[in-house]
Amino acid sequence: MTPQEFYQLLSQKGIELDDRQKDQFERYFELLVEWNEKINLTAITEKNEVYLKHFYDSIAPVLQGLIDNQELKLLDIGAGAGFPSLPMKIICPQLDVTIIDSLNKRINFLKLLAEELGLDKVHFYHGRAEDFAQDKAFRAQFDLVTARAVARMQVLSELTIPYLKVGGKLLALKASNAPEELDEAKNALNLLFSKVQDNLSYALPNGDPRFITVVEKKKETPNKYPRKAGMPNKRPL
């Protein structure tokens, strides 16, 4: 997908990028490739592939009508090089985006990236999701949490649901639709007072299948969740 094809596809879906937004995506690509030589950010560095498999893939919640340009507080867990939240932030500048990542080198990259792209209302924190979720400044503070290819739902739900306000939604972007994954997660979702609202199926323009699982938080999360760092992975709910 060339940048031009990227713009045209968005235009067909009613999203017209201005010159500044196009420049932001271009600079994002340049910095991603430049920094990838210093720290491991992505295995995908060819321009057309980045526009398709990172930029276009990341904005799926916007294209699927789950997110639009309004003042929502969005948390991105394990965003790595800023996916999916920062491409969505370029398209929906009113979003207030927070990223938590366990690797400080990636946080340094994201801070520089946000500065270079002139993004405001973006916040970056180095640490473990389990730890921040017990902090009152973060717990139950967000309208949306996104996670792209981070963990199976059984684990992911414990890492993300505590951050949501009641009525807030987790958007889990996945490359495979595993019904057994949602079956495995039933107990975890019940314990966390949350419920699968939708499981959207779609394809990238090249035909690659993609899914977004939408989980809504129904009640306040019990204080004991999430458990200490590492526990959700070692002993899933």
Segment 16-28 shows an average pLDDT of: 97
pLDDT at 151: 86
For residue 196, pLDDT beyond 80:
yes
pTM of the model: 0.94
Using only C-alpha atoms, the chain has a radius of gyration, in whole angstroms, of 17
- The per-residue pLDDT of the chain, averaged, comes to 94
CB 140 within 8 Å of CB 165: yes
CB-based contact 75:98 (threshold 8 Å): yes
Average pLDDT over residues 40-65: 95
Distance CA 189, CA 213 (A): 13
**pLDDT, tens digit, 9 for 90 and up, residues 92-140:** 999 999 999 999 999 999 999 999 999 999 999 999 999 999 999 999 9
By DSSP bridging, strand 209-217 and strand 164-174 are antiparallel
Per-residue pLDDT, 51:
97
pLDDT for res 120: 96
